[in-house]
Structures are given as structure tokens and as C-alpha cells.
Amino acid sequence: MWSASPDRYSRGESPARTGERASNRERVGSSGIGRNGPLVGLPVKTAGATDAAAGSSGGPAPAIMIAIGGRKTVPLADRAPAPGRLREAASTMTPKSGPATVPESSHSPAPYDGPTREEVLATRRQYLTPGLLTYYREPLLIVEGHMQYLWDDAGKQYLDGFAGIVTVSVGHCHPKIVEKVRDQVGKLQHATTIYLHPTAGEFARKLAEHMPADSGLTVSYFTNSGSEANEIAVLSSREFTGNSEVISLRNGYHGGTQGAMGLTAVGTWKFKGNPTVDVKHATPGYCYRCPFGLTYPSCDLKCARDVRDLIRHETSGEVACFIGETIQGVGGVVTPPPGYFATIYEIVREAGGLCVADEVQTGFGRTGSAFWGFENWGVTPDLVTMAKGIGNGIPLGACVTRPEVARMMANRVHFNTFGGNPVSMTQGLATLEVIDAEGIQANAREVGGHLKDRLSDLQARHPLIGEVRGMGLMLGVELVRDRTSKEPAASETAEILELCKGRGLLLGKGGLAGNVLRIKPPMCLTRADADFLVDCLDEALEIVENRMHGKTKN
Ligand SMILES: Cc1ncc(COP(=O)(O)O)c(C=O)c1O
């Protein structure tokens, strides 16, 4: 989306804010490391078998899968190397002269000798909440991970295109993180914040340094999850403003606790017995399915301007805060038009409210063009909530705000047993260090840009693809049965997930109708991985499209 030149990035500037914004770290000066530096199992096909009948787990993809797409083979030496120190699988480019195969990993998984997949599933069904959902007709038993790859109980390797739901930011079991956490676990696992520990403050300082300069966003409240971080943001805003009403966005997801579920406006994630209290839901910037039937830019951002009417009609006129994901993740990677957030922030501030950016999925460089998603939109929130990628897989979240807002939490006694836990803090700090040292944001931009270009090429050949959207390594592919009616292709999306799984690729899905492929891998993804991902998707799309049109290819 942005066309910033590489030297802009090397100076650490967001393209939306060039010349305006430097990080707090640049302002306060510290480590000197540049922040932009370096539901269902259609299995692998066997000859003569239908996809549904073939087994889906174990073993490499059989060679009889048909190569589709005919992409020109590029000699290895001609392919751009992965930036920074990201080398995994860089030498294993898959020429598209046969079926897509997962790039080789340098890692050898240990043989798995635990309970069988069937036993694990049976135990889960008996002893864990039935509310848990699994992907795939035959749920996957994952037993080992290394960087962007996962292995199942049969030793089959997968490219993780969904990062444990956008959580493994820099790679599964990243060796530098593992080493530091191992050391911490051996020394002290827990004490609580009633005692001092050096890592929490150090991590909070580093987070503050990653905020835009002069934003004043310097104080962290650590939690264990994104839901809790959002609860803290809303509570702090209500205390600060003395107002109660909150504006969030339709199609937004903010968590599963009572308050966070109230902020959420994807109906499938709401329970009828859990009332939404003092939250009004505004219109998302979902141009592909504009709720007003308009087109950007002639719409003049009616979706954003409508917030003024919403506040006037449905609230007392004074609000506590607005909260919005800077790209809607669960809602299907819905990426708003330029000006959307700036317009809403202005209206909300006129009504006395604070602005909260939910960066649970978009933060830590995932959008490539900026460290925080909000920087892409030229706005500065009053509070920033984060989780998932902050900890590369450990339960960790945070709400970062200005000191005067943070002070509200001292109005009463408030406590979170595991907030600031030394192990979580160690993992969070180590993750942030890896993001800086290994050029993770730059990689998200470069490999993500390549991936998006190739997905857009697929769109030209596959009518199922209605839209390719997103930024960096936060990409979505919305599938529709018909490009005019835009009827959501929900069962087709599920089938594509199954076909990809059979080929060794794990993807996510989202959107209210479940018809958006969510591509949000660990940000150490290489171009070879990206090529594999697209080739795999190409094959799956062709199979599904052929079926839709009654062709029997495969
Ligand atoms: C944007 C966003 N906010 C908040 C949450 C809630 O985070 P958690 O599941 O850690 O409570 C999620 C979880 O998917 C999310 O995607």
C-alpha cells in the first residue's frame, strides 16, 4: 500500500509519518538498535482417491499432486535473499515445476513418543471445555516447532502461515529467547509485583522507546492476555474521563472476557447471556463490503463521519473512549481507507473521549511499514493495547498509556497476580530484542510485499478471490462465489484450508462468514516460504474451482 523508499525505512520512519514521528527510543536514546533494523481435512490426494477420502495426516505430500499455475522457475541464485539474519530455508526455493513442497528446515524434530492423536483428542473431548474449537476435519496434533515451521506427531512438517493465531512473532522456540527464558525459569518463576524485579521495568522502558516520540506513551500495565489489556484500557479511560460510554467497531474483536466481549462486534463471538454494557458499535472501514454501498474516496469517509451521529443519537454526547483494531484481524483483515482513523479520533476527542488502538494483532512490526498499526494511519492513540506477538507465544499482554491516564489505576487497589511475571517479562524483552536485532519489521515489509504481489497475481487467475488486502505479514484473501454478488465462499474457504494442510501449509480463516483466508505467519518468513504458500494456495484454489464448475481435475 505504501511506496516508501528503502532509505526511509533505514532511518526508522513510518511512511505515513515521515518527518513527523520518531520513536520514544530515538528521543530518549538508549540501546541504539534501530527499530526498523536488521473448521474443518481435505487431505493430500492419492491416485484415484477423492480429496475427502484420502488420509490427511502424516507423511510428505505425495508426488501425484498436480502442478498448477505454471509459474516460471527462477534459478535459486536469482532470487532475492531474505533480509537481515533470516536464513531459514533460504536455499530451498521450490521451482513450480511440480507440486508445491514445504521448504526444508535445518531443524530435525525429535521423534514423537507421546499419546496418539486419537488419545489426545479423546482426552480433550472428555476433560476440556467443549467450547474449544479445532481446525480441520481431523484435528492436527502439533508436537514441535522451530521458527516458521511446525511438525505433527507423524513427523510431517508444515509451514505455519497463522503463527498460532498471530502470536508467534519471531519464530517458534526462537533459540535466543529460549536460552534467556530457560535461564530465568531456573532462577525465579514468580514473586508478584509486591516485590521488585528488574526485568519488568526494563521491558516497560523498551516498550516506551518503541512508541512514537512525544506521544507520551510511556507507562505499561502488564497483563496475561489481550482481553485483560483491553479491560484495563476501558477502565482507565472511564476513570480518566468520568464518562462511561465506549465506541468500538462492528466487525471488531477485542477478546472473550465480559467487557472485551462487549467491545467485540462479530456476532459469532458474542454470547446472548453476556450483555454489552455502555458500548456502541460504529461502522468499520470495510470498503470491499461498504455498509453504505459507497465507494472510496467519493464516499468522503461516511463510515468514519457517521461516528458523530452515533454519539449524538446513542450516547449522552460525552464518551469515555473509542477502541479499534488498526486492521481488523478476526473480522477478516479488514483494512480501512486512509483518513478513517484520523476522522474518528477527531470526533471522539471532541466528545471528550480517549482513543485506544488495539494492536494485539497489528503491533510489533507485523504491518511492515510501521512498528505499530496506528502509525500507518497517521494517528496517535492515548492508549495502546497489545498481546499475542508481544511475547512470541507466552501469555502476555500490556496496556501502554500516558502517565496522567495510567495514574487512574491508582484510584483504587488493583492487582494482577501474573502481570509482570519474571518469566513473561524475560520472554517479552527477549522477543523485542530479537525484533530489533533481526530486522523483523523490515522482513515483514519485504517478504509481505512479495507475498501480497503474488497473491494479487493469483487473484487475476482465480475468480474465487474477491479481494487481497492487508499490509506486511498481516494479509487476508476474501473468497467469494461470485465477484458481482460477493456471496461469501465459506465452505470453499474451509476446503482450501484442508487442501493446504494436506500439502503442509497451515492458514487461518476469519470474517463473519468465515470466508477470508488469514495469512499471518511468524515474521521470520522467507521468500521461499512465501512462494511455497502461494503455490500451495494456487493448487488448492484450482481444485476447488474445478469442483465448483463440475470439472473433475484431480
Ligand atoms: C485484536 C484482538 N484484541 C484482543 C484479543 C484478545 O486477546 P486474548 O485472546 O489474548 O485475550 C484478540 C484475540 O484474538 C485480538 O485479535
pLDDT at 71 over 90: no
325 in ligand 1 pocket by Cβ < 6 Å? yes
- As a whole number of angstroms, the distance between CA 282 and CA 331 comes to 14
| Confidence band for 96, pLDDT divided at 50, 70 and 90 | low
- Candidate from 168, 328, 360, 394 with most ligand 1 atoms within 8 A of CB, to mutate: 360
> What pLDDT is stored for residue 552 in this prediction?
56
Give Cβ neighbours of residue 282 (< 8 Å, ≥ 6 apart).
Answer: 247, 248, 249, 250, 303, 306, 307, 310, 322, 344
Task: Give the chain's domains with CATH numbers.
Answer: 35-54+79-174+443-548 (3.90.1150.10), 179-184+199-437 (3.40.640.10)
pLDDT tens digits, one per residue of 443-466? 999 999 999 999 999 999 999 999
> Which atom of ligand 1 is the closest one to the Cα of 395?
10
- Output the residue whose Cα is nearest ligand 1's atom 13: 255
Give the sign of the dihedral formed by CA 237, CA 243, CA 245, CA 248.
Answer: negative
Q: What is the mean pLDDT of residues 519-543?
A: 98
Range of weakest confidence among 8-17, 353-362, 458-467, 476-485: 8-17
- Candidate from 162, 388, 424, 474 with most ligand 1 atoms within 8 A of CB, to mutate: 388
203 in ligand 1 pocket by Cβ < 6 Å? no
Range of weakest confidence among 82-96, 197-211, 434-448: 82-96
CA of 99 from ligand 1 middle (Å) equals 36
| Confidence band for 99, pLDDT divided at 50, 70 and 90 | confident
CA of 336 from ligand 1 middle (Å) equals 19
pLDDT at 515 over 70: yes
CA of 254 from ligand 1 middle (Å) equals 5
> What pLDDT is stored for residue 332 in this prediction?
98
pLDDT tens digits, one per residue of 477-510? 999 999 999 999 999 999 999 999 999 999 999 9
pLDDT tens digits, one per residue of 140-190? 999 999 999 999 999 999 999 999 999 999 999 999 999 999 999 999 999
* H-run or E-run covering 398: strand 397-401
223 in ligand 1 pocket by Cβ < 6 Å? no
- As a whole number of angstroms, the distance between CA 552 and CA 549 comes to 9
Q: What share of the chain is helix, strand, coil (3-state, %, to 5)?
A: 35, 15, 50
Alpha carbon 355 to chain centroid, angstroms: 21
| Confidence band for 39, pLDDT divided at 50, 70 and 90 | very low
As a whole number, the mean pLDDT across the chain is 86
105 in ligand 1 pocket by Cβ < 6 Å? no
362 in ligand 1 pocket by Cβ < 6 Å? no
pLDDT tens digits, one per residue of 429-440? 999 999 999 999
Give the sign of the dihedral formed by CA 163, CA 134, CA 471, CA 365.
Answer: negative
CA of 30 from ligand 1 middle (Å) equals 30
| Confidence band for 54, pLDDT divided at 50, 70 and 90 | very low
What are residue 280's DSSP bridge partners? 247
pLDDT at 53 over 70: no
> Which atom of ligand 1 is the closest one to the Cα of 397?
10
In the numeric block, which cell numbers belong to residue 259? 467487557
> Which atom of ligand 1 is the closest one to the Cα of 387?
10
CA of 388 from ligand 1 middle (Å) equals 7
CA of 86 from ligand 1 middle (Å) equals 28
pLDDT at 131 over 70: yes
Sheet holding 474-479, edge to edge: 465-471, 474-479, 516-519, 508-510
From 550, 536, 548, select the one nearest 66 (Cα to Cα).
Answer: 536
303 in ligand 1 pocket by Cβ < 6 Å? no
pLDDT at 58 over 50: no
How many helices (DSSP H) and strands (DSSP E) are in the chain?
15, 15
Pseudo-torsion of CA 478, 270, 120, 397, nearest 10°?
80
- ∠ CA 411-237-310, nearest 5°, is 150
CA of 360 from ligand 1 middle (Å) equals 6
- As a whole number of angstroms, the distance between CA 400 and CA 233 comes to 8
C-alpha pair distances (Å), 393 with each of 58, 157, 206, 390? 25, 19, 19, 8
CA of 307 from ligand 1 middle (Å) equals 24
CA of 359 from ligand 1 middle (Å) equals 9
Range of weakest confidence among 57-61, 200-204, 419-423: 57-61
> Which atom of ligand 1 is the closest one to the Cα of 224?
10
pLDDT tens digits, one per residue of 298-347? 999 999 999 999 999 999 999 999 999 999 999 999 999 999 999 999 99
374 in ligand 1 pocket by Cβ < 6 Å? no
- As a whole number of angstroms, the distance between CA 177 and CA 206 comes to 16
From 474, 222, 259, 217, select the one nearest 355 (Cα to Cα).
Answer: 217
- As a whole number of angstroms, the distance between CA 445 and CA 2 comes to 10
> What pLDDT is stored for residue 24 in this prediction?
53
- As a whole number of angstroms, the distance between CA 88 and CA 421 comes to 31
> What pLDDT is stored for residue 551 in this prediction?
76
> Which atom of ligand 1 is the closest one to the Cα of 230?
4
- Candidate from 167, 227, 392 with most ligand 1 atoms within 8 A of CB, to mutate: 227
CA of 227 from ligand 1 middle (Å) equals 6
In the numeric block, which cell numbers belong to residue 80? 532475492
- As a whole number of angstroms, the distance between CA 380 and CA 408 comes to 20
> Which atom of ligand 1 is the closest one to the Cα of 256?
11
Range of weakest confidence among 49-63, 215-229, 265-279, 412-426: 49-63
224 in ligand 1 pocket by Cβ < 6 Å? no
> Which atom of ligand 1 is the closest one to the Cα of 165?
14
